[in-house]
Chains A and B, each alone.
Chain A
Amino acid sequence: MSVYVASILTNMALISFLALSAYLVLVVGVVSFGQQAFFGVGAYVTATVTSIYGGHAVTGVFIGMLSGAACALVLAILTVRLSGLYFAISTLCFAELCRLGLLQVRAPFDIDGRTTGPDGPEGFSNIRWIFEHNYSVQDFLVLTTVCLVALLGLLFLLERSRIMLRARLVGQDSILAQSLGLRPILYRIVFVTLSGGVAGFGGGLFALFNTYIEPNMFGVMLGVHGLAYAVIGGLGAPIGPLIGVAIDIGLLESIRAISAYRMIAFGGLVALLLILLPQGLISPRFVERMRRWRKLFHA
């Protein structure tokens, strides 16, 4: 597999983490414009752990994941009383505050003769773990894919649980959920925190792969893209957001006539699709129908 193709696939896998994190929030019925902040926090923390403190990539990404989750938890708790729109705007605010904050952090270190560490708008360079451990692009693709598949597995298990059923109920009909004794805000806090962890994990891998990160990579548009993938792919199953990513970066990018106008095509596609299928391609109903089909098929 050529380095070019491996690169693209790795980027697709990395942004899938962001899309999945948006998915987890959408499932509980809220919109978050701030997932890119957790992605960025994960990236910076992982870079710090591996480059400055010489930690292993696994440790770095793990701590990055926890940092993303912690940030998300803080946001979720601060915004307990806010309803839908206000929550959405507050996530945007929070994310921009994180980005602007990172632009002010300047702590360059000199390690092995190279400058690394966060340096405001100059970014965090020389995140060299994959070079030091002889990981080729293809190797890293395998690593990222394994992680993504593991996450999908966990989410698949979660799907079958009562927690997910209740979360979906809270997301789709909060009034009904409350009449059954479910406390919506609890589900929001839990799932936003989980989404922060997922985004942080992806961000950590991203930092290692890119070897250079800077705060403006984690702006609003990144989060909006993640949301768009989750929305077009559908909220029925975790594979949905991945399909969204595949449509944009896979399909549209590979059609040469479109690739220069990719966002024009993709944006229009999402808007049009929402008219016909407001719940995305892999909607909850669709998934349930598939399950029913399979049951009949086996019976």
Chain B
Amino acid sequence: MLDIAGISKNFGGSQVLNDVSLHLRAGDRLGLTGSNGSGKSTLVNIVTGYIEADAGRVTLDTVDLTNRPAWKIARAGIRRSFQSARMLQSATMRHQFRVEMNTTTQGLAAIDAAGLSPYLDHFPSEVPLPILRKAEVVRALVTEPKVLFLDEPSAGFTSEELIEFADFLNAHLSRSTALVLVEHRIDLMRRVATGIKQIGSARSLEDLEFEHA
């Protein structure tokens, strides 16, 4: 479904990504890890259209999405969250979901399951972080994306919140959506991912052995 081939990126002399390749099928749950500054976010930014790759291709179901604008990639069915839980700060939570489509019953159920119902008339700055992160996920899921990239969603979570978030993901991710979970925290990845890759010192992807919980 999503084919990433030979992605390379050099930032002002520093080779951040080197010949990164990845193949995702529907329903895959991939964890992506690596040390700080290893280029995980850069890869996500490249695939979702915010940074241009120096080389390589990104293909979704035979459609070439390499270096296309971010909005086009989003419409093609690749969605993402951001490290800082981006929301429209001047609108209440209710409106965050109005931006894209009418909320389906499935969507409403997910909003409720995320614990958002008491916060629908609150501003994002008034909502607790774990709920905000779930809201980000729900916002992406109501569009039934083909691929979902989550960029370090557990930053700031306690261990309990992390487990709860993992349960939430497992309950609401559809079987057809592929997930790429960029994370440091192994406990989240063990609960959600079925495989983990790491960006190593060679700046390409290496498989990691792990046990799914």
Q: Does B168 contact A (CB under 8 A)?
A: no
> Smallest distance from the beta carbon of A297 to chain B beta carbons, Å?
13
Q: Does B173 contact A (CB under 8 A)?
A: no
Residues of A with Cβ closer than 8 Å to B? 162, 165-166, 168-169, 172-173, 175-184, 236, 279, 283-285, 288, 292, 295
| Nearest residue, chain A, Cβ from B90 | A284
Do A178 and B70 touch across chains, with their CB atoms under 8 A apart?
Answer: yes
> Smallest distance from the beta carbon of A28 to chain B beta carbons, Å?
14
Do A169 and B99 touch across chains, with their CB atoms under 8 A apart?
Answer: yes
Q: Pick the interface stretch among B74-82, B109-117, B184-192.
A: B74-82
Q: Does B27 contact A (CB under 8 A)?
A: no
Chain B contacts for A288, CB-based, 8 A: 90-92, 123
Chain A contacts for B161, CB-based, 8 A: none
Chain B contacts for A168, CB-based, 8 A: 88, 90-91
Contact with A along B68-97 (1 / 0, CB 8 A): 011100110001101000111111100100
Chain A contacts for B92, CB-based, 8 A: 288, 292
Residues of B with Cβ closer than 8 Å to A? 48-50, 69-71, 74-75, 79-80, 82, 86-92, 95, 98-100, 121, 123, 139, 143
CB<8 Å pairs between A and B, sample of 17: A162-B99, A165-B99, A168-B88, A168-B91, A172-B89, A175-B70, A176-B88, A178-B69, A178-B74, A179-B74, A180-B74, A180-B100, A181-B71, A181-B75, A181-B143, A182-B71, A279-B90
8 tightest A-B CB contacts, nearest first: A284-B90, A178-B70, A181-B74, A181-B75, A176-B86, A178-B71, A183-B71, A285-B90
> Smallest distance from the beta carbon of B88 to chain A beta carbons, Å?
5
Select one of A169, A180, A284, A292 contacting B121, CB under 8 A.
A292
A168-B88, A168-B90 known; 20 new pairs, CB 8 Å cut-off, are A165-B88, A169-B99, A172-B88, A172-B89, A173-B88, A175-B82, A175-B86, A178-B49, A178-B70, A180-B74, A181-B75, A181-B100, A182-B99, A183-B71, A283-B90, A284-B90, A285-B89, A285-B123, A288-B90, A292-B92
Select one of A172, A176, A183 contacting B90, CB under 8 A.
A172
Contacts A165-B95, A169-B99, A292-B92; A176 near B87 (Cβ below 8 A): yes
Bound-state Cα–Cα, A248 to B89, Å: 30
Chain A contacts for B74, CB-based, 8 A: 178-181
Bound-state Cα–Cα, A279 to B79, Å: 30
Chain B contacts for A176, CB-based, 8 A: 82, 86-88
Bound-state Cα–Cα, A176 to B90, Å: 13
Best-buried of A162, A180, A236, A279 by chain B (most CB within 10 Å): A180
Do B50 and A175 touch across chains, with their CB atoms under 8 A apart?
Answer: yes
